[in-house]
């Protein structure tokens, strides 16, 4: 079945705008384009233009918007805070719901739980939980919205020790379905929808408005070690790490960033390094500083480091600030893989990263830990997460960076065990999004869309979708 094709007039739009508490921007209204561009974080608003952009201030606003869209044949999409590399939520000719005002946070300290609106940001959640001695594996940047982060899985801070992938910590959720009804979902109530929202990514047959989350005791001490190495030494460094990662404490977060070398270290680097260096960080989340230092001591000595800073106390807020400083340009695009064979992945990284059109572009390698995998839509595995963040400033450089990134990850696909949907290049390889799920999970998601949204009310960006 197709969506209704009732004719939508300006009068009907005005009547709808009066019925909800948030702002409605029409494609033909003054000020529409700044609102549309403001929905997009990546600096590259695509040439897709929703007929209406609705700023929801309540769950009732969301439900009314779905009812309105059903009546007039508009596909519905949603964005939490817009912190998306692909802006896949921009639905041409549809109704875009901006959920960023649904950002309230309610902490239940004794139960170690938090209830958050879909538009709440990672930094806000961490700060409120810390006041109650609690923590949650939020995004590594304080501005990351919790909604899209959890729906895509969520590779959060200390997630290996805090439940695995962040979405595994969803206890229940509240959503609006394709009929505009408000539902509560949990392992016992509407279990199919609960399964789907834990990692299903974009194009789900509902809009989540609230999450109920399991929290963890805030660490008594967070201690970091960091080292800098020459870029040409990456294969040797990876070999050192791979000898110990099978035995590392789950409370240890290990990340490699492949960055442009700062001016003060350029003389330390040779032509083989291409103006880049390796920044290795290891952060222990422990009961006290002594425990943290013991965890960090399980790492190799790294005798060939150019610079080392060890046993530094830090905080969750500082970790999120570090994440923010990695992105220094105006325009962004990303892609990634999960893998078990890190040495082969690194060989490909060393071939492609030095040829980046923009010297600001960087790659990350993160040890994913070895947590258990429950039955959720998030269904891919890999010991390592390898991602690349193309970043540049000028629109005229969009194409060359896109082509470079796609070629890079066409080669990376050969060693991948899967990919992470939240940082997958959905612009360049939308038809390969199945790589972000197990075959069984991807097929089940397609089936659930047909069952729970047969008319294609909710925008599904994937090829051959009902919408």
pLDDT in tens, 117-126: 999 999 999 9
- Residue 286 pLDDT: 98
- Residue 325 pLDDT: 86
Domain with CATH 3.40.462.20 in the chain: 221-428
CA distance linking residue 426 with residue 155, whole number of Å: 18
Q: How confident is the model at residue 4 (pLDDT cuts 50, 70, 90)?
A: low
pLDDT of residue 262: 87
Q: Report the alpha-carbon distance of residue 135 to residue 129 in Å, rounded.
A: 6
Tokens of 116: 């958050």
- Which residues of 123-232 form beta strands (DSSP E)? 134-135, 170-177, 182-185, 206-214, 216-217, 221-230
Q: Is 370 or 8 the better-scoring residue by pLDDT?
A: 8
Q: Where are the alpha helices (DSSP H) in 187-274?
A: 191-197, 234-242
Cα separation, 57 vs 21, whole angstroms: 6
Pinpoint the residues of the chain covered by CATH 3.30.465.10. 112-197+204-217
Q: What pairing do the DSSP bridges indicate for beta strands 276-286 and 221-230?
A: antiparallel
Query: What CA–CA distances, in Å, run from 401 to 278, 327, 328, 334, 408?
Result: 22, 15, 16, 10, 11
Tens digit of pLDDT for each residue in 409-423? 999 999 999 999 999
Q: Which fold has domain 221-428?
A: Vanillyl-alcohol Oxidase; Chain A, domain 3 (3.40.462)
Percent of the chain at pLDDT > 90 equals: 88
Say whether domain 112-197+204-217 belongs to CATH 3.30.465.10. Answer: yes
pLDDT of residue 436: 98
Band of residue 467 on the pLDDT scale cut at 50, 70, 90: very low
Q: Please give the mean pLDDT across all residues of the chain.
A: 94
* Contact (Cβ atoms closer than 8 angstroms) between residue 207 and residue 66: yes
Tens of pLDDT, residue by residue over 209-256, are 999 999 999 999 999 999 999 999 999 999 999 999 889 999 999 999
pLDDT digit string, tens, across residues 96-144: 999 999 999 999 999 999 999 999 999 999 999 999 999 999 999 999 9
The confidence score (pLDDT) of residue 5 equals 59
User: Strand 24-26's sheet: what is its strand order?
Assistant: 24-26, 52-55, 95-98, 76-79
Six token digits for residue 144: 């990351």
Do 284 and 223 form a contact (C-beta atoms < 8 A)? yes
> What does the pLDDT read at residue 266?
79
């Amino acid at each position: 079945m197709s969506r209704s094709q009732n004719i939508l007039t300006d009068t009907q739009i005005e009547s709808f705008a009066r019925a909800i508490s948030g702002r409605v921007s029409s494609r033909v209204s003054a000020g529409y384009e700044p609102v549309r561009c403001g929905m997009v974080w990546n600096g590259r608003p695509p040439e897709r233009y929703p007929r209406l952009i609705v700023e929801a201030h309540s769950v009732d606003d969301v439900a009314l918007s779905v009812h309105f869209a059903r009546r007039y044949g508009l596909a519905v999409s949603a964005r939490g805070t817009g912190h998306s590399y692909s802006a896949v939520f921009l639905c041409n000719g549809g109704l875009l719901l901006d959920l960023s005002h649904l950002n309230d946070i309610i902490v239940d300290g004794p139960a170690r739980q938090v209830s958050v609106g879909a538009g709440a940001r990672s930094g806000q959640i961490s700060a409120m939980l810390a006041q109650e001695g609690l923590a949650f594996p939020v995004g590594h940047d304080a501005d990351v919205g919790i909604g899209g982060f959890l729906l895509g899985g969520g590779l959060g801070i200390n997630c290996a020790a805090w439940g695995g992938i962040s979405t595994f910590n969803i206890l229940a959720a509240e959503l609006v379905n394709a009929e505009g009804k408000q539902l509560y979902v949990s392992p016992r109530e509407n279990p199919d929808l609960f399964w789907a929202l834990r990692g299903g990514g974009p194009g789900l047959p509902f809009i989540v408005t609230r999450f109920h989350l399991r929290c963890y005791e805030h660490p008594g001490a967070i201690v970091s070690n960091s080292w800098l190495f020459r870029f040409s030494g990456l294969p040797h460094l990876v070999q050192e790490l791979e000898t110990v990662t099978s035995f590392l404490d789950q409370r240890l977060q290990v990340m490699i960033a492949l960055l442009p070398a700062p001016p003060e270290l350029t003389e330390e680097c040779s032509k083989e390094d291409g103006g880049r260096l390796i920044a290795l960080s290891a952060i222990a989340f422990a009961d006290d500083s002594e425990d943290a230092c013991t965890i960090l001591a399980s790492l190799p000595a790294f005798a060939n480091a150019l610079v080392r800073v060890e046993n530094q106390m830090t905080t969750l807020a500082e970790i999120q600030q570090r994440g923010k400083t990695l992105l220094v340009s105006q325009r962004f695009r990303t892609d990634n893989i999960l893998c078990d064979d890190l040495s082969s992945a690194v060989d490909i990284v060393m071939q492609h990263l030095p040829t980046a059109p923009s010297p600001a572009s960087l790659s990350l390698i993160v040890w994913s830990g070895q947590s258990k995998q429950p039955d959720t839509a998030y269904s891919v595995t890999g010991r390592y997460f390898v991602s690349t963040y193309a970043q540049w400033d000028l629109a005229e450089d969009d194409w060359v960076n896109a082509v470079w990134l796609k070629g890079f990850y066409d080669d990376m696909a050969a060693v991948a065990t899967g990919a992470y949907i939240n940082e997958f290049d959905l612009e360049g390889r939308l038809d390969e999004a199945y790589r972000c799920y197990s075959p069984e999970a991807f097929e089940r998601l397609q089936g659930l869309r047909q069952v729970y949204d047969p008319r294609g009310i909710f925008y599904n960006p994937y090829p051959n979708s009902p919408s």
